[in-house]
Structure 1
């Protein structure tokens, strides 16, 4: 009943609800017919061409799924990118469904991307070395997101505290860094990492493109996360620090055990929004020749004129993959909000 009241409680809501229902009734049968009833699911180009205009060709997904999801990784070692993606996605799933908090949760989110790097790179224990140029698809997208957030969050916390420092030089430097990072698009940061950052390394020292891009992502995301954390810090009443001091806490202990857990719990939805945005923004690394999900899709279709006409179905599949990842991160955000300690209102 409450749901019906929200949908039809007043003339405006009733009109909007009826309009949405009418649009769904008009479009849904055609979508079901195109996407299911008359669709082609086998990787058969002749059948897809015959059904073109009437039904979807999901055969392109069946044919190109390996290239889209795993990129150009060597075919004889596909278990390694599958394991790397499973480690990271599995950690998100466990964090979203479990009730972990504190150090256990941090370890769950930080260790999988660290473990995924040697699995993908190899060069030890009999695993063939695979250059980062061949990493791609879903494992690269997950790795950039997880490692980017794992590096950006502690840096963002440090910057947030630094901007509250009493040292004007430190505040000015950190403010300039945050404003610079927020004032340029991520594309510009990636180009700087690709072409300008190598100039700051010593002569003869070459840093792989992937790690330069990851540095840019961490620095870029940390600027946004620092503002989120700084807003949470400003919401904590000063009286809590006084109470912690009265109980014998040192200033560091008060921040570690009293202030920061409340701040991270309060800003968890905003942190999740940043993670979701970063998960999608990893598609920009294609411009520096790192082929994550969207780049792998482009490679899979660009060199195959038979399947190239059915790009729409491939992009719909890719959108479903991105939506699944975003939904998982949103569920993780809600879980963090429930498990984090909440600040109680002060009472007189």
Structure 2
């Protein structure tokens, strides 16, 4: 009697993980042959002298007083000193909501929460930061972790968090501007990192749904909608952002009734949103084209109409496929806000140019621009990090 050899699935074992150690990795990747060894030694020597020179300049030669003396200008521009509590309160609202989000969804948001608290702590430890600012930073750190640990004890915590994010934007705008509910602060006084973040957030948040609608409009069967979407996308993508900003400055007032005025900041937000929406639309269209036709046929076989098919089957897969491209566009938009200095707004780069033009700080260009480069890098890397973790959680690029 023959017995069948059956493999028990539970007895299957994964292949052993390759663990060659640090020494093995170095030998395999850097010193595998005499040519690789020579190249490694040459580049290691070059990198050593470059890093040594940079660190020597940063620690011993650079004069960072230009940063400490203008710290407030870098972050809020000419915003009135007696009204700074409104900026701090706005930041506290954001950090509290960030803590709520991290407490509910954990993962990447929790890692960003830790990173944000470390940044706040490092700024608090700077010797030239005034006591009032240090107190607000401590309040923000406490709010961050209070939100994280206590949000799950609230009923309908997800609804509270989502609604809180939606309401935070108009509340923050009221706090910053006043809108006759508080002492008015003209947008001409907004500047520095505050203005950069406001323009970038508005452009990113508003351009995403507009870009999705334009992408859907471009593949629409209605000729009017399709050709309007194509014309808009190709026109905006065919001209540089600075041209769009100038158009927003000059042309937006032409479409307004007499007596109605929109200040420069709103015009720039409109121009940046229009520009970013066109690029988001092309990214989303690329994702839509990557979806296999069988997905449409399967949805049709299930009896779903075109709206449900696009909303619940096609579009989620398309957006998942183009996360890197969309986040890359958002990072580019954040950095491109530096162009608003050309149309008369003083953002982070505009503040830097103003400071280096001050006779008291002549010759300090390297310190100033290195500092704002660090700020841009922190925000850009945070978005990139969140994007990579989101891709990992969704399995983007994995094959099954």
TM superposition shift of 1:161: 0.6
Q: Is the 8 A contact 1:268 1:333 kept in 2?
A: yes
2:248 — aligned with what?
A: 193
TM-score (norm 1): 0.83
TM superposition shift of 1:150: 0.8
TM superposition shift of 1:78: 1.6
Greater CA deviation, 237-246 or 127-136? 237-246
| Cα distance per residue 1:145-184 (max 9 Å; x no partner) | 1110111111110110111012233222211111111111
1:46 — aligned with what?
A: none
2:56 — aligned with what?
A: 33
1:67 — aligned with what?
A: 73
Structure 1 residue 79 corresponds to structure 2 residue 85: yes
Secondary structure of 2:193 counterpart: helix
Aligned pairs (5 A) from 1:1-348: 1-2=24-25, 5-9=28-32, 14=37, 16-36=39-59, 38=60, 55-84=61-90, 96-98=108-110, 112-123=168-179, 125=181, 127-302=182-357, 304-340=358-394
| Cα distance per residue 1:98-125 (max 9 Å; x no partner) | 49xx999987876544443222111355
Q: Is the 8 A contact 2:97 2:161 kept in 1?
A: no
Distance change >3 Å, CA 123–CA 203, structure 1 → 2: closer
TM superposition shift of 1:86: 6.0
| Cα distance per residue 1:51-110 (max 9 Å; x no partner) | xxxx100111111111111111001112323444565688789674249xx999987876
User: How far apart, CA to CA, are the structure 2 residues paired with 1:290 and 1:174?
Assistant: 30
User: How far apart, CA to CA, are the structure 2 residues paired with 1:270 and 1:132?
Assistant: 32
User: How far apart, CA to CA, are the structure 2 residues paired with 1:30 and 1:306?
Assistant: 26
| Cα distance per residue 1:264-308 (max 9 Å; x no partner) | 111111111001101100000111111111112223343x31123
In our comparison, the structure showing a higher alpha carbon Rg is 2
User: How far apart, CA to CA, are the structure 1 residues paired with 2:87 and 2:94?
Assistant: 11
Distance change >3 Å, CA 292–CA 268, structure 1 → 2: same
Distance change >3 Å, CA 148–CA 89, structure 1 → 2: farther
Once superposed, what is the RMSD of the aligned Cα atoms?
A: 3.0
Distance change >3 Å, CA 188–CA 90, structure 1 → 2: farther
Distance change >3 Å, CA 12–CA 268, structure 1 → 2: farther
User: How far apart, CA to CA, are the structure 1 residues paired with 2:37 and 2:250?
Assistant: 56
Distance change >3 Å, CA 104–CA 232, structure 1 → 2: farther
Distance change >3 Å, CA 196–CA 92, structure 1 → 2: farther
Distance change >3 Å, CA 24–CA 262, structure 1 → 2: same
Structure 2 regions of 5+ residues with no counterpart?
A: 1-23, 103-107, 112-157
